[in-house]
Structure 1
């Protein structure tokens, strides 16, 4: 039996963040029913140009909707609002991402829900905490919270992250809140209500870049894959077979082993590279020297040699190469939805030991 078997979840949320929370709960055994408006979740139509247009779902929709049941609920009608109240009478979790004014129309207020359904856990996603009425999608938050300004190569157009990462981060925040709410309810018998905004979730994930600014007044700029605090870390090193190697050298001991492997042992004692600060300061010269050496290696040989010597390094791989690997298949989940075979990565990949 899965840990959340018997839990009933009413999912009214659309797009990605809220439905991702529902998918997580479903994977853990909860019974999740996704109630969509009459026209369906908008992501049903978010298809690739060459995707099957006759299907009722898109691959995007399938990515974050799995192991759920699907139904229609028209909350623009009085019947739909009445039906929602009935659904909540025995629900454990409610997931929404409505605008504030719509919540009131639908009868979804904290006071009302706590009075009528004291055991209910309500998790809701919003866009901006600084302006609750402002519409938002992931890329808007990537722009407004600094991610796009840091992404891409210097002196080129900035880039967005290729995954809706702000939605994913917000979903993780709400997953944690709901698990906390379930624990509290187990102890005290009452539910609780939790809100996560994409804006605050995004800000929370700035991590070391936020601290670099607040403590050192350092404003992160686009610098490709390189790390602002460590070198060589994230820098792209070319290989003989046209691939890119990405080292993650976190200590001077690792740097010494890496330079020895590349027959560049003198670099470890070079005044320009004797400490991490020196290497960050003289990064361009360092990468030039390392690149000359890595060009003599085939990518997989370099990768294996670094692994054998416990030197952190990876090879830049295409997405098809990654997703066709045995490791990716281990975290894949297949399911037929409305007559279409679907496949996505699992939401929950922790393994019980």
Structure 2
């Protein structure tokens, strides 16, 4: 499958001007402005294939937003090459805009006083969407996102969850090949989050829309993405399958066991005692090294068990461990 996004050796630098104290220094700075150069993104490279869902994660200020803005054509790289669907975004802004949809969880594309129906009509004109295509897409997304009950309501009267569903429709009306999502579930309740996640997975599967997701909600990453790219201080530090990241950087699979007595001894180099308190024990293991059935056999061989719980490695734990 072809690469729809290619980023090769890309860096982005910004001038950070120094603010001078005092009236005379402020006047002087108008003519001799001092600044330092900050490199927000440093020599990053990655490819994304058509139809992938990729999580792009990192701490605040790591370079995520700068990267997305370069992919969108808003920013021009200081060096390196970015191509999106065969085009250089900043050189082909109009054509690039037709191929991408963008949703920012904290910035709205909606018009506060317009009902949803009129907002969709407005974007139909902006993107010059043919009548039949527009009608099909609106009906498809309204049904899929269960929006019929608030379609005629002004945006100002909608809940946060309803507005986010409307944002997704606006971003997808023109059939983009790529969807950039920045914190799409921020502030939403659990039920709405699950609906948004299911919707993203469905459109990816049915329409082969490539999705780039940036978020601090690791549940979003775990439930939506198969691959993650991790950026730290402007540099790519991991690019690969999410399961490999969890196994590499988390404490692995865990068994939480409550024994009948507290004189428990587990002696196997493949098992790690992560925590022990009286008759309770947390045991860590790597499923690539030892199977779950064998772990349970070792634990139960000479000890009476009252309760047992198997815990899968979580992406949030892996990310926390990675940044320590």
Instruction: Tell me the TM-score normalised to structure 2 length.
Output: 0.29
Between the two structures, name the one with larger relative contact order (CA 8 Å, sep ≥ 6). 2
* Between structures 1 and 2, the one with greater helix share: 1
- Return the TM-score normalized by structure 1: 0.27
Larger strand proportion, structure 1 or 2? 2
